[in-house]
Amino acid sequence: MYVTRVSAKSPLSRQTAAQLSRAAASFAQSHAVSTHTPGLHLTSLHIQPQQSQSRRPFSSTSRTKLREYFPEPETEQIVKTETAFEHPLYTDEQMTKNVYYAHRKPKDMSDRVALYLVRLLRWGTDLATGYSHDGPTPKDKLTGKSTAVVPSNKPYRMSERKWLIRFVFLESVAGVPGMVAGMLRHLHSLRRMKRDNGWIETLLEEAYNERMHLLTFLKMAEPGWFMRLMILGAQGVFFNSMFISYLISPRTCHRFTGYLEEEAVLTYTLAIQDLEAGKLPLWSDPKFRVPDMAARYWKMPEGNRTMRDLLLYIRADEAKHREVNHTFGNLKQTEDPNPFASVYKDPNQPHPGKGIEHLKPIGWERDEVV
């Protein structure tokens, strides 16, 4: 992406005049729409075929203030840095047929506490992000495989900007549970001088995956100072709460995260439904292309790099996290091996894995995998 910063000084120096000249050329080459917003600067990738995919022609940020949010470092020896956790391949059929909203009913007090906390967190997040989608309440959510979860006679209140506010805020804290759990299990393994049986890698990979969701959305929207402040406060409270809670009851924390991922699947299902209904025209534009980093990370094939495709991939990731954490919540925390990183005696039988070909939305029971 091209960066233009203009400094209004008088008199103009030669360097400043050159900068202004380059800025004018940049304006002439782009089609910018500018509307300043305090919470989020929308910079969706509305790309002309002949333009570089690093440009951001549509933006609600003033063109003189628009900048690359996290430019790739330029070095003499390194071309690029590969991801540490390679993402498994998802097919379009798997993402549309195997992924849907589902709710695991609480079975004991631990589950009920986890569900209540998620409901409380959902209320606070809706309030903080201004989410006002007319849909079912948490108690009246979808139980089947259909994505038609919003009544068609309700007024539409969301927009691309509002969805991105929600996505950025959610993903900024969604990577916390996996990192906290992986860190504490790592320290527990060192302290007790015992194996962790494969849990750490899966938990850290989950945190990494959630961070990639955030980085992808940050290629499309730059948070303002108010959102930065909200994210700072939310992450601080959430991290310390998860840290203490995981020390007390890891099982409850995994159940909490499983219920949290249920909400994430519902959120992305609603966004996909709105997109398919033509309510988000900027993202429905056939010239829209997802960020290059997203195409590389998810190995998105040519011709399947629309916003709908991106949301399908991210929703599938959230559904996988839902399955993983509900399954972990069913296991003995210090004894059982990680079923998602294990080799099974009968490979022909459906079993947990890194992909979504055998996705089980409410998790695998202990007797099914151990």
Rounded Cα distance between 268 and 257, Å, is 16
Is 321 marked as binding a ligand?
Answer: yes
pLDDT for 22 equals 55
Residue 272 has pLDDT above 70, yes or no: yes
Is 171 marked as binding a ligand?
Answer: yes
Residues 122-126 have a mean pLDDT of 86
Residue 155 has pLDDT above 60, yes or no: no
pLDDT tens digits, 80-120? 777 778 999 999 999 999 999 999 999 999 999 999 999 99
pLDDT tens digits, 279-289? 899 998 888 88
pLDDT tens digits, 195-218? 999 999 999 999 999 999 999 999
pLDDT for 16 equals 54
Report which of residues 81 and 180 the model is more confident about: 180
Is 82 marked as binding a ligand?
Answer: no
The superfamily in CATH containing domain 92-143+160-369 is Alternative oxidase (1.20.1260.140)
pLDDT for 63 equals 41
CB atoms under 10 Å from CB of 116, counted, come to 13
Is 213 marked as binding a ligand?
Answer: yes
pLDDT for 265 equals 94
The stretches of 219-343 forming alpha helices (DSSP H) are 225-248, 250-276, 281-284, 292-297, 307-328
DSSP notation for 36-74: --SSEEE---B--TTS-TT-----SS-TTT---SSPPPP
CA 24 to chain CA centroid, nearest Å: 36
